[in-house]
Structure 1
Amino acid sequence: MFKSGRKQRAGLTEGRPGISLLLFALPMILGNLFQQLYNMADSMIVGNFVGEDALAAVGASYALTNVFIMVAIGGGNGVSVLISQYLGAKQYGRMKTSVSTSLITFLCISLLLGGVGFGFNGAILKTLHTPDNILEQARLYLGIYFLGLPFLFMYNILAAVFNAMGDSRTPLGFLVFSSLLNVALDLFSVTWLGMGVDGVAIATVFAQGFSALLLFCLLIRRLKGYGGQEKEGFTYYDMKMLGKGTRISVPSILQQSIVSVGRLLVQSVVNGFGSAALAGYSAGGRIESICIVPMSATGNAMATFTAQNIGAGKIERVRQGYRASHIIVAVFALIIALVLTLFKGPLIAAFLGGGAAGTGAGAAGGILSGAAAVPGTGASASVTAFETGTGYLSGVCYFFLFVGLKTCADGVLRGSGDMLVFTVSNLVNLGIRVFAAFYFAPVWGIAAVWYSAPMGWIANYIISFSRYLTGRWKEKKVI
């Protein structure tokens, strides 16, 4: 079913750079799309079968859970840089040590974060001004989710290890399996057992936990194929290796968390417009998350591509791959803009259930002033939710190219281990998004939340691309 580690090993350091990058990125894109299906399925199923308040509760929880998801993904991306450079340099013993050290470290981190999140999820939701009518449902969903956090972490770290070894198809296979299992369990718990947000949370934890266990077993088998050629011995845990990995993983976690942390911070702005606006915002946010997938996956592929080729001493090949990445993200951006322009109404309505069926496409622009989202204006809750969601997508649909450009430039910096400017550019992105959302909300209404996003993306790209042009990233090899 899956190709051996030996055949995958040289895939990113040989052949035409653009083709190699694209073939490696495509399974990552498909895999990330299926990963988005987890929370998207939760939202669609509770929105259609339980009610708008349940959708808002899952949406309120999503901003917080996504922070932890991005910590896991960012940690995996940081880990992958070290593994990829050791692999490119054919230091297989050191590569195995980095894998083992990473798995043990992130298991401990996930247990700590899961315990803290479980104990304080209610206080966090109150701090974010979560509407009272959905607070208890959001607390229930989050409580179950945090209990399963170690499974979430292990799954993402394991997937990152396979990607670092040049095998993006194995994680794809398991993501398809776990996503379909999650959807089936969601439907069973809600429609057959009559459960609500607790049912979809349990389904997500079980599906991801089962898949993580299978993926771990396969990884153990795969690593055995790298024996016999180590120049340095293997150890289960290496503190020096931990230090190297931390210097890369922390900025990577920060970069992956920018969108989710920004969404968490500005959610208090959205919450002030009521649960109906929050439901629409949640639906729009889920669709935005899907639109970002091909951009972030291409950037992550660029990081692994860069790391392996730097490890192999092929700097010019990195430049060629980076140029090819621009074409890839431009094509995706054009497709996304076209799809959202034509179908944003039906996409939002799919999350909101029958209550949104009667809203017209022309209502999409009404929310841009912010007035339609304010409770008490006379608009029904369903219309408010629909207008908020379509307004969201209208505000961001033409700017996803900048997400792709920034992630590809970030990928080169991260893959080479050039983390300082990488970190600064992503902090600037976060700062602009949060400041603009809060500062302009009294003027633009809720539309300030989504208008702020392209501002941050563009600033991030300018800084990271400027660093790329200097060429100093070539001096940052970490092994």
Structure 2
Amino acid sequence: MKTTTKDLTKGTIWKQLIVFAIPLIGGNLFQLTYNMVDSIVVGQFAGQDALAAVGTSDPVMNLLILGVTGLCIGASVIMSNCFGAGKTEELKHEVGMTLLLVMGLSAIILLGGLIASEGILKLMQTPTDILPLAESYLHIIFIGMPFTCLYNIYAASLRSVGDAKTPVYFLVLSSVLNGALDVLFVAGLHMGVAGAGLATVIAEAVSAVLCVVYVYVRVPILHLKKEHFQLDKRLIWMTVQYGGMSSLQQCSQPLGKLLIQGAINTLGVGAMAAFNAVGKIEDFALVPGRSISNAMMTFTAQNDGAKKPKRVKDGFRSGIMLEICYAVFICAVLLVFDNQLIGLFGDSKQMLSEGGKYFAVMAFFYWLPGVTNAHQGFLRGVGKMKMTLYGTLTQITFRVIFTFLLVPRIGLVGVGFACVAGWIAMLGWQAPYCIYIRKKMMTERKEKL
């Protein structure tokens, strides 16, 4: 039986990182593109109220998905470590414990969400005229949470054994199906927000089922038996520790952005439009750097499990170089095509002017998030989840503080300088800490030899 697992403890490092990162990049870019199309379908065929209802529900849905994703990222580090160390039974046991933990959590989210949807939306000051629409949409999304959790668990387990492509294939298929069902339910059957929610749940269910079937057909190393679901307090505690920290980190970013949005809103509609445009462009531009970071995480975890500190060190250097090379490329693209890219979101002179000034500054600093991504990927790979959370909190705290200090004085460009301050503050302590960890790993390996 042909398997799709990949041992990252052998072979050319930079090639392995690129090959692992490419499908992650493709999947994330496709997801971003799909999300824009999804909003267009709802807005065009269900009306402004429906679009607003879906839009106001998105932050809740995104926080839940990021939380689940964070738990699975933490679990995947443990899985990758077991795979690299050749501990097949422990790998299976960790997958079993993750399934019990995350699926149990999904049941709590489902019940709690159905009960608390209205209260959550009222806390978000959702207008009363769209409250029923938003509540019905959230109810359907909560019903689909078990499928979202199941997909993320199996996608994480596949990536942990070196298969980054297959989860992306199912993600792409799911997204295409979601779009087709949106057109059918929303445009064809006029089901409004309920149709949009139902399309999402069906697509998530299909991707989850396909992942499970694929694992049991093509990936024997992840086949689970009854004994792999026996409670193991050590593994559960490790998963909660790793996954909990990763979840907090994933959720802290959007919360920080909400605060920053508050500062931008004081500048008027033109600046708000420009911020939305540059934010959307950055979402696309920064995807490859984050994907390289995820590749570094799996690479580091496998090689740490295999007790190969020299290879971990070389992998970190290769990852840094890839991040910087990509930053140079995206800098050139944004400097040359800034007006064309911003122009995709409208022809307002103020938006084009403000957005152009922003990229004229930021384009030269995108190597900083690349370097921070590399450090975060390394730290996740060696299990230092608390440090990745502290790093993200450092970055966000400085970014929010400097945003409120600079934006009233220099406008949207102040957000750019605030980002730079956050990245520098994060690297100020995280870079020395990573050097210390790598030296410690090398010293411990020599002592054992």
TM-score range, shorter chain: 0.7 to 0.9
Aligned residue identity for 1:71 = G
Match of 1:305 among 281, 299, 313: 299
Q: Deviations over 1:155-192 (max 9, x none)?
A: 12211110001111111211121111122222333332
For the 8 Å contact 1:178–1:207, the answer to whether it is kept is yes
Match of 2:284 among 266, 286, 290: 290
Aligned residue identity for 1:252 = S
Separation of aligned partners in 1, 2:212 and 2:425: 39
Counterpart position of 2:351: 364
Aligned residue identity for 2:379 = L
Deviation at 1:30, TM superposition (A): 1.5
| 2:257 corresponds to 1:263 | yes
Bigger Cα displacement from structure 2, 236-245 vs 297-306: 236-245
For the 8 Å contact 1:130–1:271, the answer to whether it is kept is no
Separation of aligned partners in 1, 2:313 and 2:243: 23
Q: Deviations over 1:396-454 (max 9, x none)?
A: 55543322211210111111112333222122123223334455555556776665444
Separation of aligned partners in 1, 2:244 and 2:33: 27
The equivalences for 1:194-233 within 5 A come to 194-225=190-221
TM-score, with structure 2 as normaliser? 0.84
Aligned residue identity for 2:179 = V
Match of 2:247 among 248, 253, 260: 253
For the 8 Å contact 2:80–2:302, the answer to whether it is kept is yes
Deviation at 1:70, TM superposition (A): 1.4
Q: Deviations over 1:180-210 (max 9, x none)?
A: 1122222333332334444333222221121
Counterpart position of 1:110: 106
TM-score, with structure 1 as normaliser? 0.80
Match of 2:321 among 312, 327, 336: 327
Deviation at 1:273, TM superposition (A): 7.6
Q: Secondary structure at the match of 1:471?
A: helix
| 2:205 corresponds to 1:239 | no
Counterpart position of 1:400: 366
Separation of aligned partners in 1, 2:231 and 2:309: 31
Counterpart position of 1:79: 75
Separation of aligned partners in 2, 1:347 and 1:133: 35
Structure 2, gaps ≥5 residues long: 445-449
For the 8 Å contact 2:92–2:228, the answer to whether it is kept is yes
Separation of aligned partners in 1, 2:49 and 2:431: 43
Q: Deviations over 1:202-230 (max 9, x none)?
A: 222221121111111222344534689x9
Q: Secondary structure at the match of 2:286?
A: helix
Separation of aligned partners in 2, 1:363 and 1:67: 32
| 2:386 corresponds to 1:420 | yes
Structure 1, gaps ≥5 residues long: 369-386
Q: Secondary structure at the match of 2:376?
A: helix
Deviation at 1:364, TM superposition (A): 2.3
| 2:20 corresponds to 1:33 | no
For the 8 Å contact 2:88–2:221, the answer to whether it is kept is no
Deviation at 1:117, TM superposition (A): 3.6
For the 8 Å contact 1:440–1:448, the answer to whether it is kept is yes
Counterpart position of 2:447: none
Deviation at 1:305, TM superposition (A): 0.5
Match of 1:458 among 420, 424, 436: 424
For the 8 Å contact 1:141–1:198, the answer to whether it is kept is yes
| 2:3 corresponds to 1:4 | yes
Counterpart position of 1:15: 11
Bigger Cα displacement from structure 2, 341-350 vs 268-277: 268-277
Bigger Cα displacement from structure 2, 254-263 vs 48-57: 48-57
Q: 1:115 to 1:469 in 2, by over 3 A?
A: same
Counterpart position of 1:383: none
Q: 1:308 to 1:448 in 2, by over 3 A?
A: same
For the 8 Å contact 1:269–1:446, the answer to whether it is kept is no
Q: 1:145 to 1:263 in 2, by over 3 A?
A: farther
Aligned residue identity for 2:351 = A
| 2:418 corresponds to 1:431 | no
Q: 1:312 to 1:344 in 2, by over 3 A?
A: same
Deviation at 1:28, TM superposition (A): 1.7
Separation of aligned partners in 2, 1:459 and 1:258: 17
Bigger Cα displacement from structure 2, 416-425 vs 264-273: 264-273
Separation of aligned partners in 2, 1:450 and 1:189: 41
Number of residue pairs aligned between Structure 1 and Structure 2:
442
For the 8 Å contact 2:358–2:412, the answer to whether it is kept is no
| 2:32 corresponds to 1:45 | no
Aligned residue identity for 1:33 = L
Q: Deviations over 1:268-324 (max 9, x none)?
A: 556778999877755654443333321211111111100100111111111111111
Task: Kindly report the root-mean-square deviation, in angstroms, between the aligned alpha carbons of the 2 structures.
Answer: 3.5
Separation of aligned partners in 2, 1:451 and 1:53: 36
Q: Secondary structure at the match of 1:25?
A: helix
Match of 1:68 among 50, 64, 68: 64
For the 8 Å contact 2:216–2:223, the answer to whether it is kept is no
Aligned residue identity for 2:350 = A
